[in-house]
Amino acid sequence: MRIGIVGLGFVGLTFASTLANRGYDVIGMDIDKAKIKNIESGKVPFYEPKLENVLKNALKKKLILTENIEEIVVKCDFIFLTLGTPMNKNGNIDLKIILTVCKKIGQSLLKLKNRPTIIIKSTVTPGTTNNQIKKILEKESNKKVGKGFGLITNPEFLREGKAVYDTLNPHLIVIGSNEKYDGRKLEKFYNKFHNKKNSIIITNNTTAEIIKYANNSFLATKISFINNISNLCQTLPGTNVDQIAEAIGIDPRIGNQFLKAGPGYGGSCLPKDVQALIACEKSLGVESALLDAVHQTNVLQIQKIIKLVEKTLVNVKNKRITILGLSFKEESDDIRESRSIKLIEILLKKQSNITVHDPKAIKNTKLIFRDKISYNEKIVDAINDSDCVILMTPWKQYSKLQGIDFKKMKNKNIIDTRRILNIHDNDINYIGLGIGY
Ligand code: UGA
């Protein structure tokens, strides 16, 4: 059996590398020539812990790369589509990339004798596989799904920063197929790959698509919920949102994960998926008040931080403000929809002088702000002479900072949006977001 992976981002490259590492014949495809070159030389084009070693081993084994989609269609039994489905300006999902690829796959299928199975791992809005992907594939190939090729919706749940672990240890596999045969084939494949009987839900394509959106939207709902409670705590002296999260998290009906209050959720998935589900619901005439509120709460959360800075510094104009953490989460260099980027944009409009530190995301941030802000390799260099430090991303190294690291600040104000600092120094004005003073 040979496996094709189309689109080599977090999901695709991790999947291709772990499969090849376990002895599968894998062809990875991407249209980005520079990216392919990098990967061929063993370099991961983004920061993902542990992936580089896995990739290097995979290249020694059975991972080969191509820019040619036809090669994948002709040679592979399973064709996984792990392409990005970004958000357009209206918050709708942009399916251009995946539909264009499906058109090309359909054209390659036309001349083919084998019957490959096409597996949609990309996040696509409910109805996309049946109403758009299937139609394009059938039209271009002149073949019917089920007979000429298999078509499965198989959403991915891995987290950035834990991509290798999650690929090898998925908590759930969802297989959406309108043909029983294909679903069972993929189920067998996954059980063999993971060398165990996975927890698998087999359903139809559209239900599988909804599961993915429901999952991410529920996670976003938990975060917005706890951020709402965090804002309440902020106004009531003696309260701390973490204690409340701990208490409600003990109730097994609630669970303790995704209850860390902070500056709001970012990244390439949660913000995009909540908005895409809202747009999808609206287009179908479904009431979306809950998700509207989840999204709005997230958008407004950054204003809470701005208010805190303005209360602390009175006037932020010409003040030197340090941002610790630029990536949307720790162990990542990804700044897509990062709350830090939004915060910097607002503070720059208010004419603050911004200085930043991040262990991995400086390079990506420079592409946005260039020389409008200053960048530091060392944390203390970012802190020295500052009027206010705002800790945004909970990188481990920040939690180790001590009072002494802040002693050269011009004015010793710290706003810790993740409450990870442990500083008890009377000289320092420490404000934890979600703590009432
Ligand atoms: C998310 C989902 O967690 C994955 O299951 C899913 O596969 C992925 O999207 C996707 O659809 O591809 P990811 O974007 O890597 O994964 O990031 P998360 O770990 O979910 O974090 C998202 C944001 O929420 C981050 O900004 C994080 O700091 C924030 N967050 C998370 C909180 O503010 N509080 C929490 O308790 C948890």
Per the CB < 8 A criterion, the answer to whether 190 and 19 are in contact is no
Own/partner pairs, 185-191, CB within 8 angstroms, 24+ separation: 185/117, 185/150, 186/78, 186/117, 186/119, 186/152, 186/154, 189/1, 189/78
Cα 258 to middle of ligand 1, angstroms: 8
**What's the token pair of residue 88?**
């357009």
Residue type, 202: I
pLDDT above 70 covers what percent of the chain?
100
d(CA 268, CA 52): 21
Continuous segment of H or E residues that includes residue 289: helix 289-313
Phi then psi for 65, rounded to 5 degrees? -125, 155
Helices (H) and strands (E) in the chain, counts: 17, 14
What is the tens place of the pLDDT at every residue in 169-219?
999 999 999 889 999 999 999 999 999 999 999 999 999 999 999 999 999
Q: Which atom of ligand 1 is nearest to the CA of 328?
A: 26
**89 pLDDT more than 90:** no
| Edge-to-edge strand ranges of the sheet holding 413-416 | 374-376, 353-357, 320-324, 388-391, 413-416, 429-432
The residues annotated with a catalytic role in the active site are: 269
Looking at ligand 1, which atom is closest to the CA of residue 273? Answer: 11
Average pLDDT, the chain: 97
Q: What radius of gyration do the chain's Cα atoms show?
A: 24
Structure tokens at 325: 């953490």
Residue 244 pLDDT > 90: yes
Q: Give the pLDDT confidence of 287-308 residue by residue, as tens digits.
A: 999 999 999 999 999 999 999 9
Name every protein residue with a CB atom under 6 angstroms from any ligand 1 atom: 123, 156-160, 216, 219, 223, 258-260, 262, 265-267, 269-270, 328-329
In the predicted model, what is the mean pLDDT of residues 338-365?
A: 98
Say which range, 40-44, 92-96, 320-324, has the weakest mean pLDDT: 92-96
pLDDT for position 335: 98
CA 103–ligand 1 middle distance (angstroms): 32
Cα-to-centroid distance, 33 and ligand 1 (Å): 29
What pLDDT does 56 receive? 98
Residue 108 has pLDDT above 90, yes or no: yes
d(CA 435, CA 230): 7
**297: part of which helix (H) or strand (E)?**
helix 289-313
Residues 32, 28: Cα–Cα separation, whole Å: 12
DSSP E strands in 284-352: the ranges are 320-324
The CA 270 to ligand 1 mean position distance, Å, reads: 6
Query: Which tokens hold the place of 298?
Result: 């997230």
The CB density around residue 184, as the number of other CB atoms within 10 Å, is 13
* Residues 11 and 82: beta-carbon distance below 8 Å: yes
Instruction: Give the nearest ligand 1 atom to 155 CA.
Output: 7
**CA nearest 420: which of 410, 409, 406, 434?**
434
| pLDDT (tens digit per residue) in 364-384 | 999 999 999 999 999 999 999
% of the chain exceeding 90 in pLDDT: 97
Q: Quick: pLDDT tens for 263-290.
A: 999 999 999 999 999 999 999 999 999 9
> Which residue's alpha carbon is nearest to atom 24 within ligand 1?
265
Burial string for 259-285 (b: 16+ CB within 10 Å, else e) reads bbbbbbbbbbbbbbbbbbbbbbbeeee
Cα separations in angstroms, 38 against 33, 35, 80, 117, 155: 9, 5, 21, 29, 27
